[in-house]
Structure 1
Amino acid sequence: MTTAKHAIVTGGGTGIGLAIARALAAEGHHVTITGRRAGPLDAAAQETERLYPAVMDVSDEDAVTTGIAQAVAARGPIQICVPNAGIAEGRALLKTDMAFWRKMMVINVDGAFLTIRESLKSMTETDWGRVIAVASIAGLRGLKGAPTYTASKHAMVGLIRGLAADYAMKPYTFNALCPAYVDTDIVSRNTESIMARTGLDEEKARALMTDLNPHGRLILPEEVAASALWLCGPHSGSVNGQAIQIAGGEV
């Protein structure tokens, strides 16, 4: 087992975040999981004593500053930071108002920025650290019908690359995971949205996303979590500033 570290995973109560939190906890790490709803966090924390729930809204600077400071005070410096909390929704540009644009940017981009900034305050007092942002394949290419979401994920990847350059001579790495369509609640909600907009039945609406993955199936959250574990494992220190595709062969 690796030496136990303190990790923080935002949006850690469900989906990809929970899969990453579970994987880190199984490796012996102490994992603070955050989210806006106490219910899913508390349910996850019942699984193992190594998951610690903390209600925190990543769009609220004071909440992030206070929440991370409290986690550090309780469990020590954060050495694995996983900014995962985010929203995904498609909308044509001419139907996009400022409220929609700002909501997407505040949660996806500002939330990642704040989480990383506050985590680095303690991480940089240690001799090892990993920042693993959960972005999207949309952080590397255009996602049809979702220009705002695409822009937010490109910004996340850019932030990671800039930080990797800044800290290249330090013992901390910064990478982004870029999955295609993953079998999470987000896909379920998008399926309902597609059904409402197009009149398609559930199977056909879901297939619109599944068929975009080259291997013809949804990616499992555990597949994304395995990549996060690899970045925390031995001999990973030279992997820095990368946007790692977990996309079923998309090229």
Structure 2
Amino acid sequence: MSVSRICVVTGGSKGIGAAVAADLSAAGHRVVLAARDREALDRTAKVLPGPVLTVPVDLTAPDAADELFGRVEGAWGPAEVLVAAAGAGASAKLTGTSDELWEQQLALNLTAPFRCVRRAVPSMQAAGWGRIVVVASVAAKTGAPYVAAYTAAKHGVLGLVRSAAAELAGSGVTVNAVCPGYVDTPMTDATVAAIAARTGRGEEQARAALARMQPIGRLIRPEEVAAVVRLLLENEALNGQGITVDGGGVQS
């Protein structure tokens, strides 16, 4: 993307979203950071080298996508890139997964990206150019114990990506997903703490166990995921893909 674009990054205050935002900003793009935590947004915005707009928003609210994209359009114009990186996991046995937990996971990991994609697409189609990348997970491609709700949501969002890509093919708008394994982010820190609490193991042991789940023997770095996002933004021939970034664990 040699031209400077208006890039919306949800979940942009930390983790993968912050790494994507930093990468895009360094490449000369205008970056919109959207997340719930205003203070975290401000901290991330301060270290970006280029123009940045912060939008504190709860993406699980029904009108959040309209609020977010309306703010962007009012300040800079229509969004040209959407990176939907907001998400969170939760762990529970299948029989211990409450309706509330189930709905929470679908709301954040599936419904919120859907609403953002739906809101972003019309102006991208009108312009004849757009890029959408959803940060999914290896859980979009394979199942694991104790994460039924999270896995169902991530499988669903990969289905959304594939269907949207097929529908928009030839319009100049591409839709893809990245599917990371365990990444060295605050979300993984929370997973480590949950494992330690459930099993009685120390957090160092729990973190080492997660690192071993990647064949390369370590956690994935957020910057490595951001580099794949950038590839998907630059290459129109990549469409409808779910690119796994996990050191070779899920080969697809």
Please, what TM-score do these two structures have when normalized by structure 2?
0.96
**Counterpart of 1:187?**
188
Give the gaps of 5 or more residues in structure 2: none
Quote how far apart the aligned CAs of 1:198 are.
1.0
- Counting matched residue pairs gives 249
Tell whether the 8 Å contact from 1:21 to 1:51 is kept in structure 2 after alignment.
no
Tell whether the 8 Å contact from 1:7 to 1:31 is kept in structure 2 after alignment.
yes
Output aligned runs, 1:169-184, within 5 Å: 169-184=170-185
| 1:41 aligns to 2:47 (yes or no) | no
Secondary structure of 2:63 counterpart: helix
Tell whether the 8 Å contact from 2:26 to 2:50 is kept in structure 1 after alignment.
no
Secondary structure of 2:115 counterpart: helix
Tell whether the 8 Å contact from 1:12 to 1:34 is kept in structure 2 after alignment.
yes
Quote how far apart the aligned CAs of 1:72 are.
1.5
Secondary structure of 1:7 counterpart: strand
Q: Alpha-carbon deviations, 1:51-100, whole Å to 9, x = none? A: 21110111012122122111112111111111110111221110011000
Distance in 2 (alpha carbons) for counterparts of 1:226 and 1:51: 20
Tell whether the 8 Å contact from 2:37 to 2:56 is kept in structure 1 after alignment.
yes
Q: Alpha-carbon deviations, 1:107-149, whole Å to 9, x = none? A: 1101100111111132222121110000001101112221111
**Counterpart of 2:201?**
200
Output aligned runs, 1:1-251, within 5 Å: 2-47=2-47, 48-233=49-234, 236-250=235-249, 251=251
Percent identity, aligned pairs only, is: 37
Q: Alpha-carbon deviations, 1:148-199, whole Å to 9, x = none? A: 1111100010000000110112111010000000000011111111111111
Secondary structure of 2:146 counterpart: coil
Distance in 2 (alpha carbons) for counterparts of 1:114 and 1:98: 22
Tell whether the 8 Å contact from 2:28 to 2:50 is kept in structure 1 after alignment.
no
Matched to 2:152, the amino acid is A
Tell whether the 8 Å contact from 1:83 to 1:133 is kept in structure 2 after alignment.
yes
Matched to 1:247, the amino acid is D
**Where does structure 1 differ by over 3 angstroms across 4 or more consecutive aligned residues?**
none
Secondary structure of 1:59 counterpart: coil
Distance in 1 (alpha carbons) for counterparts of 2:167 and 2:56: 31
Report the aligned-residue RMSD.
Answer: 1.1
Distance in 2 (alpha carbons) for counterparts of 1:53 and 1:226: 22
Tell whether the 8 Å contact from 1:33 to 1:41 is kept in structure 2 after alignment.
yes
Secondary structure of 1:154 counterpart: helix
Please, what TM-score do these two structures have when normalized by structure 1?
0.96
Tell whether the 8 Å contact from 1:127 to 1:171 is kept in structure 2 after alignment.
yes
